[in-house]
Chains A and B, each alone.
Chain A
Amino acid sequence: MLSKLFFGYFAVIMVALSLLVITRRNPVHSVLWMLVLFFHIAGLYLFLNAEFLAAVQVILYAGAILVLFLFVIMMLNIKVEITAERFIGEWPIGVALGLSILMLIYFTTSKLIQGPAGQFSIEAIKAETHTKALGKVLYTEYLFPFEIASLILLIAIVGAIVLAKKRG
């Protein structure tokens, strides 16, 4: 019962925060609401026994990505932003589309048949600690995607410099 109450709190707050993110006029406010949202998502991860991911969520999303957003907003002209029109003219169509897609997802996933259970039960992860268990899988079974991820980060560095460097 208590866990359901906790989930209820998280769900209501997270939906409200997401709505705030996409409706605010001032992008700085959006980023700040998003920050609160990311902390809640990290809380939800703790709830799902994913401690390491909760930490990564806070460090990477809240600590790095959102700060990047804030930096860029500071470079842009916020005064124009605040006076400009927020939504496209056809926004009711967009909302209706969204609602119908939500209904579609609801009806199709409500009959979801779960796949077979794997070997990482809560007890098994607890015995090994979450970070260690995740690390073992990541550096053995998932070594190859891990290497590709490093290439993607390299591209990001190169790309950011190529695109945003001062004209020389």
Chain B
Amino acid sequence: MVPLNWYIGLSAVIFVIGMVGFIVRKNILIMLMSIELMLNSVNISLVAFSHYLQDLRGQVFVFFIITVAAAEAAIGLAILVALFKNKAAVHTDEIMEMKG
């Protein structure tokens, strides 16, 4: 059987890749996708814990996280569409109306 630590390691690597993607990319769409990556890595670790701890709570939690991720994506993309209608920009340095 695969040890639990392998799953945690895999989830940590994907989590950090998502985090780095969020920090270094300029494209807002890719930043959104990086957040989805991070959420998926959390899901992997929760499902793995749930399997190894013989407890269903983790999987129920994953169910809710997927629901929220869908809602979050819908709202994030709606904001992006609204921004794009006013200003054709999806890059972080193009949307610097305000000094950040």
Contacts and interface: CB of A to CB of B under 8 A. Distances in A.
Contacts of B62: 50, 53
Given A109-B5, A153-B67, A98 B23 contact: yes
The prevalent SS among residues of B at the interface is: helix
Interface in A68-120: 68-69, 71-73, 75-77, 80-81, 84-88, 90-91, 94-95, 97-99, 101-102, 105-106, 109-110, 112, 114-120
Contacts of B51: 48-50, 122
Contacts of A3: 1-2
A22 B30 contact: yes
Interface of A: 3-4, 7, 10-11, 14-15, 18-19, 21-22, 24, 27, 30-31, 34, 37-38, 41, 44-45, 48-50, 52-53, 56-57, 60-61, 64-65, 68-69, 71-73, 75-77, 80-81, 84-88, 90-91, 94-95, 97-99, 101-102, 105-106, 109-110, 112, 114-122, 124-125, 133-134, 137-138, 141-142, 145, 149, 152-153, 155-157, 159-160, 163-164
A110 to B, nearest CB: 7
Main secondary structure of the interface of A (DSSP, over half): helix
- Chain B, interface size category, equals 35 or more
Contacts of A98: 16-17, 19-20, 23
Interface in B15-51: 15-21, 23-27, 29-30, 32-34, 36-37, 40, 43-44, 47-48, 50-51
Contacts, number: 229
A106 B27 contact: no
B20 A152 contact: no
Given A15-B17, A72-B81, A137 B60 contact: yes
